[in-house]
Chain A
Amino acid sequence: MPNAILDPTGSVTSKVAKAAAPRAHRPASLNGIRVGLLINTKQNARPFLEEVGRLLEEKYGVTLTKRTKVNFAVPEPENVIKELVADNDVVITGVGDCGSCSAAAAADGVVLESAGVPVAAIITDSFIPTADAMAALRGAPGYKYATTAHPVAVLTEDKVRERAAQVLGDVVALLTDPGDARA
C-alpha cells in the first residue's frame, strides 16, 4: 500500500461550510436616513464618496457621517464596525481600486450586512475576481456591490464627480432593493 500524497492546503480545505452571512434588511427609501461614508484613503476615494454623499443629501435629504478606514488593506476592526452600526442606517464604502483594498471593501460590506446595516461597496472593475473571492470567503458568495471603471486614481475632479453620478443609481438600488441581492 503506497503512501498517500499529502494535501498542503491545511484543515481549511475540508471546506467546512461557513455559516451564510445574512443580508441586512433594506429601508424602503433613503429619505431622511443616516448614511455613513467609509473612505478607504486610496487616491480619489474621498472626493468620489463625498460626491455620492452630496448627491444623496440633495436628492433624499440624508444625514452624512464620514470616517476613514483604519487600514485600507484589511477589514475594519470590531470596534469600528460597532460604531458604524450605531451611527448609520446604511453605509457606502470604497473605492476598492487595489488588490487588498477591493477585497477589504467586500469584507467590510459582508460584516456590516451581518450586523444589520445595508452596504453599497464601490469597487473598480479590475478587481471583481478578488472582491468576489473575499465575499465568498466571508460566507456571502455572490455578494453584490457597485462597480466603476478602473482606474479612479488618475481622474480629474470633474471626472470623479461624473463617475459618482454614474454609479449613484446602483448605490441606491443596492441599499434599497429588498430582494435577495445575492445571485
Chain B
Amino acid sequence: MTAASDEGAAAGGAAGPAPDPDEAQRAIEYCYDQGWSDGLPLVPASKPLLDAFLATTDKDPDEIIGSLEQVGRDVDVRTAAINAAMAGCKPEYFPVVLAAFEALMRERAARGGGFQSTSGPAPLIVVNGPIRKELGFNTAGGAFGPGFRPNMTIPRAIGLIVRNAFGVHPHVLEQATQGVPGRWNICIAENEEESPWEPFAENGGVTGGVSAVSATLTRTMEFVDNRHTPNPEDVLRDFQDTIGRIGSLIFPQTSVALVLCPEHAQMFAAAGLAKADVQNWLIERSGRLGREFRVMGKENVARPGFQGEYEGDEAFHKILSGPKQIPVIVAGAKNAAISMVVRIFGEWSGTAVPVVEKK
C-alpha cells in the first residue's frame, strides 16, 4: 500500500494516472536538503494537503498550541499540521496529533529540558476511545509497532514538531547521549476490548468513552515474560523485581508505567484485583535494601527525599511513592503473557486530553 494509492484524492491530488516517481523523489530530496527530516523520507506538504489537515479542526491556524520557552519558539496549529503531513499522517489523524501534543506539553518534563536532555527520552502516547477503530489504530499484537500508519506517523509528527518548530536538533540543542530506540515511534492504542479494567483515559480524567490521548516521556522499557505460573502473586513479584532494578534509578523516587498484556491483566482481574490493587501491591514492595544501593555507589537514592539522609544498609527503600508513579495500561495481543515495564522520564501527571474533531 502506498500513500499515493489511497490518499492522493484526500490531499487534493486527482485520481488519475500513476504519480511520477521521479518528481516524488526530487521533492523528497528537497526536504532532506532543507534539514527538515528526522532521517527518514518526508511526505512533501503542499497547500492543498495543509488545507485538508486544517479542515479537520475548529482551531484557528494561528493558535499557539505549545511553547518551548527556553528556546523562544512557539508552535501554531498550521505549523503542527505541516509537520504532521510531512510525518505521513492522514488529515483525519490531525485531531489526535493535536491532543497528543497538548497532553505531552502539559508535562513538566517535556516543557522543561526533556527534549534537550542527555537521556534522550521518547514520547509514550496512549490513545483511548472509538477514535482507535475509526482511524485504524493497531489495538492488538505488536502494540509498540511497527506496521500501522496512525501508530507510527502520529508520534513521528511530534518528533518533527520538536525538530522543526522548536528547532531542537541532534548534537546542538538536543544532547542525547544515546537516546531511546524508537524515540519518535511509540503510540499505543489501548486494548480496551480485552482489558478487564476501565480505559486508561478514565484514570486521566476523561470518562464516558470519549476518545482521548495521554502522553509522557520515557527513557526505556523492559519486558517481563511470565507465562508459566498460575499464581498472580508470582507475576507481581516478577514485576517488582524488574521495577526495582537499580541501573535506571538516580533519584529517591521513580515512576514506571506498567503496560500489561491482556493475559496478565485478566489474570489479575480474575483474582479479584482492580488496577489500584495491582498498583498498591507494587508500591508497597518495589525497591531494595539500602546496602544494595550502597554497593553500587548509589546510596543517595536510598533517602526519603532529596533533602533526606541515607536510610541505612538494612532499611528497605521504596521507590514508588503512590499510584501516580505507576500508571497501568493494557496493550498487545492475548497470545502470550509478556508485559512491559516502561521507565518514565520525570513524573507523569497522567492527564488525558479529549480528541476534538471538527463539529
Contacts and interface: CB of A to CB of B under 8 A. Distances in A.
B105 to A, nearest CB: 14
Nearest to B300: A43
Contact of B113 (A8, A9, A101): A101
A5 B42 CA distance: 11
Interface in B107-122: 112-114, 116-118
A131 to B, nearest CB: 10
B43 to A, nearest CB: 10
A99 B73 CA distance: 17
Contacts of B175: 98-100, 102, 127, 130
A134 B169 CA distance: 12
A3 B117 contact: no
B321 interface: no
Contacts of B86: 8
A18 to B, nearest CB: 8
Contact of B75 (A10, A72, A104, A107): A10
Contact of A5 (B44, B79, B83, B117): B44
A8 B83 contact: yes
Q: Which bucket holds chain A's interface residue count?
A: 20 to 34
Given A6-B46, A10-B74, A99 B174 contact: yes
A75 interface: yes
Nearest to B75: A10
Interface string B156-183: 0000100011010001111110000000
A99 B71 contact: no
B27 interface: yes
Interface string B45-87: 1111010000000000000000001111111100100110110
Contacts of B118: 98-99
A137 interface: yes
B231 interface: no
25 contacts: A3-B47, A4-B46, A8-B86, A8-B164, A9-B167, A10-B74, A10-B164, A72-B113, A74-B112, A98-B117, A98-B175, A99-B113, A99-B117, A99-B173, A99-B174, A99-B175, A100-B117, A100-B175, A102-B175, A103-B70, A127-B175, A130-B172, A133-B172, A134-B70, A137-B167
Given A74-B112, A103-B116, 14 more contacts: A5-B30, A8-B36, A9-B36, A10-B79, A98-B118, A99-B174, A100-B70, A102-B175, A103-B71, A104-B70, A130-B173, A130-B175, A133-B173, A134-B173
